[in-house]
């Protein structure tokens, strides 16, 4: 690639690749590039790539509902011995601004198995958050016993409280200004949502359809194909530092199949799904839907955002 870029005079000196074309074979920078690995180049470009992404926005607004005082505090990192204890949060597809209406994704994760389910809804009003719950809960292969939320108004309201009673699970909320109370799903927000949706702004029904199809394949990959290690305790080093002790890597599906609290019917369904999965096909479907998602964005909006990001980097 480097030789082709040099031959086509595409590699230039100067900021933002706008200087004179680099043609000298004995150029020190060119020799350094030849010696660098792909991983080293990625490390050098990490800051520039980060600058092209919209800044993360905090969209949690504390609920003023009097019902808040009746919902007990809970944490997702409390020890549990069976699946069914969920952490649930919302992610805004707002791009660089929270002005106006944008799509929201409801993200859930089981604390014990790591099982993740995701759905995009029109906005974060109580009606649509309930609709998201109605889509997520049936997809989980075990009984939901409890759900921990942050203190946002989209969760702490009569609609969600009534739904939890209807579905017979305990509803708890995180303590104010303690984001680590919902640490499991906060991590999944980046790993299972942000890494797939590119942090851009989505607003219409077409984007909702593409995102929900994307979450279907991404959840298959996360739940059936990608193992993860779970922290099962802590040890102390000689210097007194605390270090986490993790178990062997397993997929959420494996952890669910090993549990004695999943019905034989659900285990059979999970085994059938796993047997029919093709890793490469799942990856191709995810890539196709990501390209479709980028195609929804208007060229003008994309160019304006990139130009603004370039100006910010140049000014810095």
- The answer, yes or no, to whether residue 33 has pLDDT greater than 50, is yes
Residue 286 and residue 283: Cα distance in Å, rounded?
A: 5
- The answer, yes or no, to whether residue 189 has pLDDT greater than 60, is yes
Q: Are 117 and 188 in contact (CB under 8 A)?
A: no
Q: Quote the pTM value.
A: 0.75
Give domain limits for the chain.
1-30, 66-306
What pLDDT digit, counting tens, does each position of 96-120 carry? Answer: 777 888 899 999 999 999 999 999 9
Residue 1 and residue 178: Cα distance in Å, rounded?
A: 47
Residue 259, CB half-sphere, CA atoms under 13 Å: how many?
26
What pLDDT digit, counting tens, does each position of 255-270 carry? Answer: 999 988 999 999 999 9
Q: Which of 13-22, 131-140, 168-177, 209-218 is least confident?
A: 13-22
Contacts of 21 (CB under 8 A, 6+ apart): 9, 10, 11, 12
- The answer, yes or no, to whether residue 195 has pLDDT greater than 60, is yes
The CATH architecture one would assign to domain 66-306 is: 2-Layer Sandwich (3.30)
| Number of Cβ atoms within 10 Å of the Cβ of 117 | 24
Residue 148 and residue 108: Cα distance in Å, rounded?
A: 10
Looking only at the bridges linking them, the beta strands covering 242-246 and 231-236 are antiparallel
Residue 84 and residue 64: Cα distance in Å, rounded?
A: 28
What pLDDT is recorded for position 299? 47
Question: Taking all residues of the chain, what is their mean pLDDT, rounded to a whole number?
Answer: 84
DSSP 197-209: HTT-B--SHHHHH
- The pLDDT of 164-187, averaged and rounded, is 86
């Amino acid at each position: 690639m480097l030789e082709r870029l040099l031959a086509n005079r595409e590699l230039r000196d100067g900021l933002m690749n706008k200087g004179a074309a680099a043609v000298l074979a004995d150029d020190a920078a060119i020799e350094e590039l030849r010696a660098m690995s792909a991983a080293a180049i990625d490390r050098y470009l990490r800051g520039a790539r980060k600058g092209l992404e919209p800044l993360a926005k905090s969209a949690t607004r504390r609920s003023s509902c009097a019902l808040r005082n009746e919902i007990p505090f809970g944490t997702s990192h409390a020890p549990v011995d069976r699946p069914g204890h969920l952490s649930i949060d919302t992610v805004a597809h707002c791009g660089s601004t929270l002005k106006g209406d944008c799509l929201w994704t409801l993200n859930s994760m089981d604390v014990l198995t790591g099982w993740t389910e995701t759905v995009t809804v029109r906005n974060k009003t109580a009606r649509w958050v309930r609709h998201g719950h109605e889509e997520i809960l049936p997809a989980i292969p075990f009984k939901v016993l409890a759900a921990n939320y942050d203190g946002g108004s989209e969760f702490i309201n009569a609609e969600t409280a009534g739904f939890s009673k209807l579905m017979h699970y305990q509803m708890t909320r995180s303590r104010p200004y303690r984001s680590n109370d919902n640490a499991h799903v906060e991590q999944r927000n980046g790993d299972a949502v942000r890494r797939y949706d590119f942090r851009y702004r989505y607003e219409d029904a077409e984007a909702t359809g593409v995102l929900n199809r994307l979450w279907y394949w991404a959840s298959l990959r996360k739940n059936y194909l990608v193992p993860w290690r779970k922290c099962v305790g802590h040890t102390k080093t000689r210097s007194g530092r605390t270090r986490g002790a993790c178990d062997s890597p397993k997929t959420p599906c494996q952890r669910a199949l090993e549990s004695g609290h999943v019905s034989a019917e659900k285990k059979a369904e999970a085994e059938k799904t796993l047997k029919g999965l093709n890793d490469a096909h799942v990856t191709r479907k995810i890539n196709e839907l990501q390209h479709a998602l980028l195609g929804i964005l208007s060229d003008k909006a994309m160019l304006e955002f990139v130009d603004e990001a370039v100006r910010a980097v140049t000014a810095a």
